């Protein structure tokens, strides 16, 4: 650790962005959560009843209604919300396969398949 130097250009306690977001201001997810939790009397499109629903409930019920009308994208969005997005993985580890290609080629030659 020869010639150790401080790579941080700021003094201790000094902000790197003094004109940044004001203290106490809310981030976008906090604001979105507030409004998605806001309730209102609304007709449930599935039951037809007037209910006290959150904005999140109303949006989800709208997706369910679209899905029931045959909208495949609405179905996919609901499934992704419920179970998570499907991940496609491919195992590229060939060490587990155990194929000796020289042996395979010899066997093919013996069987006349080249």
For the chain, give every domain's residue range: 29-89
First-to-last alpha carbon distance for the chain, in angstroms, is 61
The DSSP result for 50-72, as a single string, is EEEEEHHHHHHHHHHHHHHTT-H
Least confident stretch, 46-50, 70-74, 82-86, 94-98: 94-98
Maximum average pLDDT range among 3-7, 29-33, 42-46: 29-33
Least confident stretch, 10-19, 42-51, 53-62: 10-19
Average pLDDT over residues 105-113: 80
Decide: 42 and 53 in contact? Cβ < 8 Å.
yes
Q: What is the pLDDT of residue 77?
A: 94
């Amino acid at each position: 650790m020869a010639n150790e130097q401080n790579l941080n250009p700021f003094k201790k306690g000094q902000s790197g962005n003094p004109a940044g977001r004001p203290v106490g201001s809310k981030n976008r997810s906090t604001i979105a959560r507030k409004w998605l939790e806001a309730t209102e009397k609304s007709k449930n499109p599935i039951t037809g009843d007037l209910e006290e629903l959150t904005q999140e409930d109303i949006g989800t019920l709208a997706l369910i209604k679209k899905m029931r009308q045959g909208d495949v994208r609405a179905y996919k969005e609901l499934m992704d919300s419920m179970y998570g997005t499907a991940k496609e993985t491919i195992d590229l580890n060939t060490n587990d396969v155990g194929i000796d290609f020289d042996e395979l080629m010899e066997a093919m030659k013996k069987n006349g398949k080249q």
